[in-house]
Amino acid sequence: MTQSPTVPGPIEQLTGAGVSIWLDDLSRERLRTGNLAELVATRGVVGVTTNPTIFAAALSKGDAYDAQLAELAPAGVDDAAVEAAVERITTDDVRAAADLLRPVYDATDGVDGRVSIEVDPRLAHDADKTVVTAERLWTTIDRPNVYIKIPATVAGLDAISRTLAQGISVNVTLIFSIARYRAVMEAFAIGLEQARADGIDLAPVGSVASFFVSRVDTAVDAALEKVGTPEALDLRGQAAIANARLAFEAYEEFRQTDRWRSLVASGAQAQRPLWASTGVKNPEYRDTMYVDELVTDGIVNTMPEATLQAFADHGVVTGDAITGTAAASRRTLETVESFGISLVEVTDRLESEGVRKFADSWTDLLATTRDGLRDAAGS
């Protein structure tokens, strides 16, 4: 009796369609309990992203950091000591995660198996200090499968080029608009061209461009609800996916240029689009929509664990959901704008809010660390 073949589950279908699954979370608890290793083994996770909000949440829960806080407490609780403690704690977590994912990195020739850590978000508008911080984080962690996250602000674009030019891998974060994404790809090319001119091997230099999704719908939906007409309300939940699909069109256009072909000939890796902010904010929407509807070969989707587990349970892969959708996506955004909603204003505001929220989370992280150091010193 022949046994029927096992039907691939949603995770297997997603990875089979060419999507790299990354986890948008990291904590000492995940590392020490084996949870991250389990997600790598059972949920197809091949990368990890972090940000100040994630670390602030991790440090405020449980006792996973108590021993290290006790070790660091004798240095005191002045600003310099607290910032040094935060850097030590976060870089230790990222290094441990990078070691866990090193087999994936090796097996994929450096494409996946990466772990991201963000520069201090308070430096988002200071290119010089961002570059210095990126260099320090890269040297401190000392693992080839790390990405340094730099926000795609105007100042960040310069920092991205200068960091890549040194052979440091970069995850460009907080991208909301197509225009800014094109500028990110330009910054990426400038950085690699400078690295090549300086004799740096391009093959190990990785980069992803983190294009944010759900926050666009949150902002646009609110504006559509203010308009309030049935036609406007029918557009809710469509702008973010259309925006991301057009970003992929821009990526494909860049890959057809002679400039990119020249870099590929020199050993460069592609700067893959990474769909970020893929957890659904509106409970009325399907909880896997920002995964299901953004499937195509050669991209990354970084998910919070709730979204990852939901997708493993009931995600739907119907093949390539992006190729051939540019014209319809453009019409969707044009219709949104016909109601007097400026997508430029929306995405500019989202960038400013994103920088501010991460800076606030960094402040929370510093405060939590200071409290932890004080508690450890008093115990």
CATH class for the region spanning 10-370: alpha beta
Written as tens digits, the pLDDT of the chain (379 aa) is 444 457 789 999 999 999 999 999 999 999 999 999 999 999 999 999 999 899 999 988 879 999 999 999 999 999 999 999 999 999 999 999 999 999 999 999 999 999 999 999 999 999 999 999 999 999 999 999 999 999 999 999 999 999 999 999 999 999 999 999 999 999 999 999 999 999 999 999 999 999 999 999 999 999 999 999 999 999 999 999 999 999 999 999 999 999 999 999 999 999 999 999 999 999 999 999 999 999 999 999 999 999 999 999 999 999 999 999 999 999 999 999 999 999 999 999 999 999 999 999 999 999 999 999 999 988 6
Beta bridge partners of 150: 172
The catalytic site residues sit at 149
Beta bridge partners of 117: 148
349: which residues sit within 8 A by CB, 6+ positions away? 219
Q: Which residues of 52-68 are buried (b: 16+ CB within 10 A; e: fewer)?
A: bbbbbebbeeeebbeeb
C-alpha span between 28 and 92 (Å, rounded): 9
- What ranges do the domains of the chain cover? 10-370
pLDDT at 335: 98
CB atoms < 10 A from the CB of 125, how many?
A: 13
pLDDT at 5: 56
pLDDT at 66: 93
17: which residues sit within 8 A by CB, 6+ positions away? 295, 296, 297, 317, 319, 320
What's the whole-model pTM score?
0.96
C-alpha span between 164 and 227 (Å, rounded): 44
pLDDT at 3: 46
pLDDT at 76: 94
